[in-house]
């Protein structure tokens, strides 16, 4: 199996441990790759399972939800929004923003959300 780094390092280990206890004779090998590489290997038949954050639909693939995670805003405890439990998306207008690289599917997804609401952020990293 292959997983993007964030899922492979943070979410997957507990699942793998439970699986190995239940099926000790099964050899589990996990590769940590970017989503593009995972799709290539799945379609080439070189891996059985791929875990990505923002799955793309493709007739050649079966896509299942693995785990639902909320999209959250993270900021410094000193930031004006830090004490909020929920905010209107427009509150991030013109805020400094640390994000994923432009080619990362999660970044593309977040950029799409911001565009849908006509939100402009100031990428700093």
Instruction: Examine the domain organization and report whether 122 and 74 are in the same domain.
Output: yes
Instruction: Examine the domain organization and report whether 74 and 124 are in the same domain.
Output: yes
Is the residue at 22 inside a domain? Answer: yes
Q: What is the pLDDT of residue 105?
A: 87
Question: What percentage of the chain reaches a pLDDT higher than 90?
Answer: 74
Instruction: Examine the domain organization and report whether 43 and 92 are in the same domain.
Output: no
Cα 54 to Cα 2, 29, 86, 104, 108, distances in angstroms: 15, 22, 23, 9, 9
Q: What is the pLDDT of residue 2?
A: 97
Q: What is the pLDDT of residue 103?
A: 85
Q: What is the pLDDT of residue 96?
A: 93
Residue 54's pLDDT band, with cuts at 50, 70 and 90, is: confident
pTM over 0.85: no
Residue 59 has pLDDT above 90, yes or no: yes
Is the residue at 23 inside a domain? Answer: yes
Return d(Cα 50, Cα 32) in angstroms, integer: 10
Count how many domains the chain has.
2
State mean pLDDT over 69-92.
91
Domain range spanning residue 8?
2-51
Is the residue at 78 inside a domain? Answer: yes
Is the residue at 61 inside a domain? Answer: no
Instruction: Examine the domain organization and report whether 78 and 42 are in the same domain.
Output: no
Instruction: Examine the domain organization and report whether 120 and 80 are in the same domain.
Output: yes
């Amino acid at each position: 199996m292959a997983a993007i780094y964030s899922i492979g390092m943070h979410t997957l280990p507990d699942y793998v441990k439970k699986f190995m206890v239940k099926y000790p004779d099964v050899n589990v090998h996990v590769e940590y790759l970017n989503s593009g590489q995972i799709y290539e290997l799945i379609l080439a038949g070189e891996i059985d399972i791929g875990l990505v954050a923002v799955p793309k639909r493709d007739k050649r693939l079966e896509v299942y939800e693995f785990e639902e995670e909320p999209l959250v805003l993270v900021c410094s405890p000193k930031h004006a929004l830090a004490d909020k439990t929920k905010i209107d998306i427009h509150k991030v207008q013109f805020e400094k923003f640390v994000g994923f690289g432009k080619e990362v599917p999660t970044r593309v997804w977040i950029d799409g959300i911001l565009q849908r609401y006509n939100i402009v952020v100031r990428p700093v990293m």
